[in-house]
Chain A
C-alpha cells in the first residue's frame, strides 16, 4: 500500500489538540459542579433552618417574621403532572412512531413526520397560552364540570370546584407537549431497525403486530426508553406552560390531592416567586433550595435512564449471542 504523507502533522500539535478537546469536555463537568455549588450555597440557609423537613413539610409562608417553608407539595405536584403526562403521552407517541415508521403510505410518512418535528419545536409559551385561553374553557365546561357534578363528591381525586386551571389541565397540556418529542425520536429509532429483521419476521408468517412485537420493539427498546426519558425530562422541567395552567396554589392546599384542584410544581413556584423575593432572605433560600431538589431529581432521572438503557442493551446483546 502506498504510504500517505501527512502535511504539518507533529507530536506537539497533537498534544495541543488533546489538551484543547479535554478542556472543551471539562467545560460540561465544570458547569454542572458550579451549578451544584451555587444552588447549595444559595440554599444553605433553608437547610440549616428547616433541615430534612424542608423536603417533607408543606408550609409555605413568606410573611415577614413567620417564615416557614416546605417543598413537599411542589415535589408531589411535579411528579403527578409529569406522571400523568407520560401516562397519556407515551402510548400516543409510540403509536405515532409505529404508524409513521411501519404502516403509513410513503406520501403521508414524509408529510406527517415533518409536522411532528414542527410540533416538537413549538415554544412552550405557545402551548401555555393556547391552554390558558382556549383549551381551559373546553376542559372545564365539557369534561371537568360534568364529571365533578356526577362523581365529584364520591371520588376523592375528582373532587374540588372545576376551575379549568388545575392539575388536570396542566397534565393534558404537558402530554400534548411531550408527544411530538417522544414520537419524533421513537420514529427515528424504529426506522433504524434493519429491514432484515422485519423481513425475517414476515418470512415466518408474522402479522404486522407480530412484526412489531418480534422484530421492531426488541431491537429499538433501549432507544425508546431513551426517548421516553427525554419526554419525561421535558415534563419535569417545563415551566412556562405549567405556571400558566396549574393554578399556582401554595402551602398544604397545593398538594395534588384532586385532579380538579389547583396545584404547583417545583419549576412553577420558582418562576412565580423568584423575581420578588429579596436577596438573602429565607424565602430566596427556599426557592433556591427547590432549584437544588429539581436539579438532583433531573440528575437522578438521567442516571436511572442511563442504567436502564445499558441494561436493556446488555440483555439484548445477550439475546443475540444466545
Chain B
C-alpha cells in the first residue's frame, strides 16, 4: 500500500513538468498564432495582410477579430491580445488604464460627403462651415443660398436635405466630427467631437455600409462615408474646400495622402501622447481636408500580455514591420491610402522599441527538440517506475 502511494506521488511529480514542457514544445516550436482585435474599418485590409503574410511565412497565423475599435482597446487593456487596431487614438483615460502603449499608424482613410441629388453629378463644392451647418440642421434645403452661392450654374432643387449619420460608435464619426469641430465653432460648442456625438438632426444607420445604403436609396439624402464605400457605390460626393481656402479638392487616394504627408512632420513619436492628434485640414493646395489615421496599438513591453512568449513577440514585431513596409502595397487596390514615408519612419522607430520583459525581442530560441527530449525521458521513467513498483492504475473496488 505504502509503495503504491509513493509510486503514485512520484508519477505525479514527473507528469506535471512533462506536460508543461510538452505544452511549451507546441507553442514555441515553428508555428505562431498572432492575435489582434478592433477596428472594423481596417478589417478588409487586415485580412489581405493576413493572407499575404501567411503566403510568405506559412508558420504565422493571424487571428484578427473586427469587433470595433473600442472593444479592441478593452481587450488590449485586459492584455489578452497581441495588438489592438483603432480608428481613434487612445484618450487620456484609456492611456491611464493601459500605460506603455505604442501608437503605430497603419493606414489612412478619407471621408466623403456623399449625396444623392437626382440630376446633380459629383463635385458639388462645399466649405467646412457649410458642411457643419448642413449636419447641424441650420441649412435644411439643397437650394439654400449658402450652397447655391458656392455652386453657380448647378441647378439645385428645393428639397429637404435628409441627413444620414452613423448610429454606432465609430472612428469615422470621430474623424468627421474632428474636422467639423476644427472648421466650425458652433459645431465645437454645441455638438463636439467623439465616436458618438449628440446629432441634432438625421437618421442613424449601422456602419459605413448602413449610411451608404441610406444615401443610395434615398433621394436628397446626404451622409459621410469612407472613401472606399463611396467609390464602391459609385456615389456622387462633394469637393471640399482645402485648408488654404484656394481650391475645392476631390477626395481621392492621392489627395488624402497629400494631406497626411503634410501632417507627418508634426506627429508625436510612437510612445508619445496621441490623444490630441488630428490630421484634418492640413495645408497644401491638393490636401483633402477630411482625412484620418487608423492605428495599431501594441504594448512597448510585450511581456505583460498573458501567455506571451519572446518568440511570439518577435513574430508580432516582424509582422507589424511588414504591414507598414511591404504590406502597404496592398492598400491602394482596396481603396485604402498607403502611409507616406514620414509616418512610416515614426512607426519603424516605435516598433524598434518593443521589448519582452525588459530585454529586446530578438531571434527565436528553439525549444522544440529540448522539450521533446525531456518529455521522452519523463515518459520513460514513468514506465520504469510503474513496472518496478507493480503499481496498478485501476483502483480496487
Contact = CB atoms under 8 A, between A and B. Distances in A.
Chains A and B form a bound pair = yes
A164 B221 CA distance: 12
Contacts of B94: 278
A281 interface: yes
Interface stretch (A35-43, A191-199, A226-234, A240-248): A240-248
A277 interface: yes
A283 interface: yes
Given A63-B194, A278-B74, A250 B204 contact: yes
Nearest to B200: A253
A275 B195 CA distance: 11
Interface string A204-215: 000000000000
Contacts of A280: 93, 97
A276 interface: yes
A244 B206 contact: yes
A154 to B, nearest CB: 18
B103 to A, nearest CB: 16
29 contacts: A60-B198, A61-B192, A63-B191, A64-B192, A66-B192, A136-B217, A161-B162, A163-B203, A165-B203, A165-B214, A243-B167, A248-B203, A248-B206, A249-B199, A250-B198, A251-B199, A253-B200, A262-B202, A264-B204, A273-B169, A275-B70, A275-B168, A276-B69, A276-B195, A277-B70, A277-B169, A278-B94, A280-B93, A281-B93
Interface residues on A, range: 35 or more
Contacts of B168: 272-273, 275-276
Interface in A53-78: 59-64, 66
Contacts of A253: 199-201
A62 B194 contact: yes
Contacts of B169: 62, 272-273, 275-277
Given A243-B206, A262-B203, 7 more contacts: A163-B218, A249-B199, A249-B202, A273-B196, A278-B73, A279-B77, A283-B196
Nearest to B220: A161
Nearest to A60: B198
Majority secondary structure, A binding face: loop
Interface residues on B, range: 35 or more
Interface in A154-182: 161, 163-166
A278 B70 contact: yes
Nearest to A67: B194
Interface in A247-264: 247-251, 253, 262, 264
A133 B218 CA distance: 12
Contacts of B199: 249-251, 253
Given A132-B213, A163-B218, A249-B199, A272 B194 contact: no
A248 B164 CA distance: 10
A137 interface: yes
Contacts of A165: 203, 205, 214
A163 B162 contact: yes
Nearest to A269: B167
A272 B167 contact: yes
Contacts of A277: 70, 169, 196
Given A161-B160, A262-B203, A262-B204, A276 B70 contact: yes
Interface in B148-187: 160, 162, 167-170
B91 interface: yes
B281 interface: no
